[in-house]
Chain A
Amino acid sequence: MVKIEFRKVGKAFGKKNRKKDVISDMSFEVSHGDMYGIIGASGAGKTTVLRMIAGLEEPTSGSILFDNKVVAENGRILVPAEERNIGMVFQNWALYPHMSNFENIAFPLRAKRVPNDKIREKVEYLANLLDITETLRRRPGLISGGQQQRVAVCRALSKDPSLLLLDEPFSNLDATIKDSARSLVRTVQSELGITAIIVSHDPADIFALASNTLCITGGKSGQAGKTSDLYHAPNSIDVARSIGEINLLRATVEVRNGRDAAVLGEENILPVTLSQAARSSLDSGDRSLIVGIRPEDIRIVEDSQEQVDARRWLAAGNATVKISSYSAGIFRILLRLHGVETDLATTSEHFLPPGQEVSMFFRKDDVKLFDNSGYNLAATPAAAAVPHQA
């Protein structure tokens, strides 16, 4: 197990006057034995961070520490990759096509000149753990993608690394086997108790595996912390988008019935509670903000007579169903909220025909408010709902 620390790390590519900052001022910490996620859009800098941890790239500025010992800083690698005791699973698995799977897994051990009997013992143990024993005599080109991925994981684990790095390990797998692959990695990491870092653009990978996550946006640390916190309380719209789908609506803050309210369009009013700092920020501008609501935090009510618990749900207004599509046992519904020129996505257990009129409610505790720069105002919706005005 190892603890990883980034201290104000920056990375630039290019020569002299044409340097481009890919990573800037990044600081985070990975604890011993943690399963840590790094998420971000394509090109955000995730793989660059992973490569710096692996020792394949040097940081242009800042320091990288393993167990409080500096391994790279300010343009220099002080501890090369081969001395960091890392096992790495690359996005394309990087298996050696001309070697059998046995030899692929044994490769790190042969490089360390481990005796043959110990190699056999280790390879067979790992193959049994990951259920690929029957493929050991075959070459990577003759086995399935899922099996190749497991061979790659075995190879990474064969030298008993203190750190396991996974770079988009499931991106080349079919959707049907991704879940079992994630479960496998989770089991292996917890059984062996090693520190692991997984990089992915897919929130599903991060939620399945990582207890703590760093979200990289535009080459900077957008937010780091518990994965659930990034989801429920994102610092910014970029973080919110990186970790899951979110609907965004433009609104203005007004005072209605003596309390703050976010007004969507002309008719849709969401009562909100703003901190003093948030109110000052809005007062200094044009009082506009962005309301964010995740699809699963939207409730559709078809029957206008149905009672909805106002302690938990805020009435957002009436909406028209635009389209219903089906995927993986659930319907994905696109709605147009009346008075707002934005489509909102949500889910439903049953089909809703296009054109149907429904009432829309937002889960009170999960409405997010962002300023015009996209940063979370850290506001919460009001405890008591203002009656919806038709």
Chain B
Amino acid sequence: MKSRSYLFFIPTGIFAVILLYLVYWNVYNSFTNSSSFHTTATFVGLATYATVFRDPVFLSSMRISLIWAFSLIFFGNLIGILLAAFLFNVASDKIRLIFTTIFIYPLAISAAASAVIWTWLFNTNDGVNTILRAIGLPPYSWLDRPSSILPSMILISLWVYSGLSMIFYLASFQNVNRESIESARIDGASPLRVLVRILMPEAKNAFIVSTALLFLFALRIFSLPFVSTGLNPFTETAVLNMYFYYITEFFANSSVVSVVLVIIASIVVVPYALYGLKRWITHD
């Protein structure tokens, strides 16, 4: 029985080997000077890392990506919690299903399509500004000013990914003992008190998963700024994934950026994996 159970590991094992090899190759490549200009790559130690970390375009892209990531985490979780709380308090299953579909539908649209839609919605003359003008508010330069373009892009990504966060929180809320909620209701607790004192303390796992995923999705963002604002490394939306295009001839530099992304992602994901493993071992 034990020997047969190892058979199940074979597919994962094969892919793990391939993946680990590629990771190893990428890490090794980051310590060379591999590029279109060097036909034979030579080991240069940390020289490529130094080059990349001294590049103001890399530093700017890193800054923009991290701002994007932490904004998406903070506001994405917040919106996810509020949407989940709203759906949790909807009495009708049918209405809950309708709203759930509406909130997660943006996930089904490709990022490029979302970018096209919102580029029109954020047009100076049409879209959202039409509504603002209709209610007496001044129009806003969503994508036209350097100071507003990044927040506008973050807003779009919140529209796309908040639904994902909502799903995790809603699942967590629905796992809370129904009698606890009813007991709180009988005791006169408001929906906000129920959310803060009863539902959220039970949503630890949802917070961890949602934060990890929002962070990883933020680091992977490319299509949204690329379609909306083009491939210009000197704009306020030039994220880390766009930096790859800027240094496309310099393979070793690209490897350095990949390694940096992996390290950043690991800082977020590994503690969660260890926490989950600890809970699994201690049956908590």
Does B183 contact A111, Cβ atoms closer than 8 Å? no
How many whole Å from B200's CB to the nearest CB in chain A? Answer: 10
Tell me whether B98 is interfacial, beta carbon within 8 Å: no
How many whole Å from B233's CB to the nearest CB in chain A? Answer: 47
Q: Which residues of A contact B187 (CB under 8 A)?
A: 82, 107-108, 111, 155, 159
Q: Which residues of B contact A108 (CB under 8 A)?
A: 187-188
Does A107 contact B179, Cβ atoms closer than 8 Å? no
Q: Which residues of A contact B184 (CB under 8 A)?
A: 107, 111
Tell me whether A92 is interfacial, beta carbon within 8 Å: yes
Q: Which residues of A contact B177 (CB under 8 A)?
A: 92, 94
Q: Say whether, besides A94-B177, A96-B180, A88 and B186 are in contact (CB < 8 Å).
A: yes
Q: Which residues of A contact B278 (CB under 8 A)?
A: none
A94–B181 CA distance with the chains assembled, in angstroms: 8
Tell me whether B133 is interfacial, beta carbon within 8 Å: no
A86–B182 CA distance with the chains assembled, in angstroms: 12
Interfacial residues of chain A within 95-136, with CB under 8 A of chain B in the complex: 95-99, 107-108, 110-112
Q: How large is the interface on B (under 10, 10 to 19, 20 to 34, 35 or more residues)?
A: 10 to 19
Task: Name the residue on B nearest A108 (C-beta).
Answer: B187
Tell me whether A55 is interfacial, beta carbon within 8 Å: yes
Q: Which residues of B contact A91 (CB under 8 A)?
A: 179
Q: Which residues of A contact B186 (CB under 8 A)?
A: 54-56, 81-82, 84, 86-88
Over the window 177-199 of chain B, the binary record of Cβ atoms lying under 8 Å from chain A Cβ atoms (1 yes, 0 no) is 10110111111111001000110
Partner of A82, one of B179, B180, B188, B202: B188
How many whole Å from A267's CB to the nearest CB in chain B? Answer: 55
Interfacial residues of chain A within 54-68, with CB under 8 A of chain B in the complex: 54-56
A110–B193 CA distance with the chains assembled, in angstroms: 10
Q: Which residues of B contact A207 (CB under 8 A)?
A: none
How many whole Å from A258's CB to the nearest CB in chain B? Answer: 62
Which applies to chain B's interface (DSSP): helix, strand, loop or mixed? Answer: helix
Q: How large is the interface on A (under 10, 10 to 19, 20 to 34, 35 or more residues)?
A: 20 to 34
How many whole Å from B177's CB to the nearest CB in chain A? Answer: 6
Q: Say whether, besides A98-B201, A98-B202, A111 and B182 are in contact (CB < 8 Å).
A: no
Over the window 150-191 of chain A, the binary record of Cβ atoms lying under 8 Å from chain B Cβ atoms (1 yes, 0 no) is 000001000100000000000000000000000000000000
How many whole Å from B202's CB to the nearest CB in chain A? Answer: 7
Q: Which residues of A contact B179 (CB under 8 A)?
A: 90-92, 94
Task: Name the residue on B nearest A83 (C-beta).
Answer: B188
How many whole Å from B97's CB to the nearest CB in chain A? Answer: 15
Task: Name the residue on B nearest A90 (C-beta).
Answer: B179
Over the window 358-389 of chain A, the binary record of Cβ atoms lying under 8 Å from chain B Cβ atoms (1 yes, 0 no) is 00000000000000000000000000000000
Over the window 146-184 of chain B, the binary record of Cβ atoms lying under 8 Å from chain A Cβ atoms (1 yes, 0 no) is 000000000000000000000000000000010110111
A159–B187 CA distance with the chains assembled, in angstroms: 8
Does A81 contact B202, Cβ atoms closer than 8 Å? no
Does A111 contact B180, Cβ atoms closer than 8 Å? no
How many whole Å from B175's CB to the nearest CB in chain A? Answer: 12
A91–B179 CA distance with the chains assembled, in angstroms: 9
Q: Which residues of B contact A56 (CB under 8 A)?
A: 182, 185-186
Interfacial residues of chain A within 290-336, with CB under 8 A of chain B in the complex: none
Partner of A94, one of B182, B188, B189: B182
A271–B49 CA distance with the chains assembled, in angstroms: 106
Does B185 contact A82, Cβ atoms closer than 8 Å? yes
Q: Which residues of A contact B189 (CB under 8 A)?
A: 82, 107, 111
Does B183 contact A94, Cβ atoms closer than 8 Å? yes
Over the window 211-223 of chain A, the binary record of Cβ atoms lying under 8 Å from chain B Cβ atoms (1 yes, 0 no) is 0000000000000
Given contacts A82-B186, A96-B201, A111-B189, 14 further A-B contacts (CB under 8 A): A55-B186, A81-B182, A88-B182, A91-B179, A92-B179, A94-B179, A96-B198, A98-B202, A99-B201, A107-B187, A108-B188, A111-B184, A155-B183, A155-B187
B interface residues (Cβ-Cβ under 8 A, vs A): 177, 179-180, 182-190, 193, 197-198, 201-202
A interface residues (Cβ-Cβ under 8 A, vs B): 54-56, 81-82, 84, 86-88, 90-92, 94-99, 107-108, 110-112, 155, 159
The 3 closest A-B pairs by CB, nearest first: A108-B187, A94-B179, A98-B201
Sampled A-B contacts (17; CB under 8 Å): A56-B182, A81-B182, A81-B185, A82-B185, A82-B188, A86-B186, A87-B186, A92-B179, A94-B182, A96-B198, A97-B202, A98-B202, A107-B187, A107-B197, A111-B184, A111-B193, A155-B183
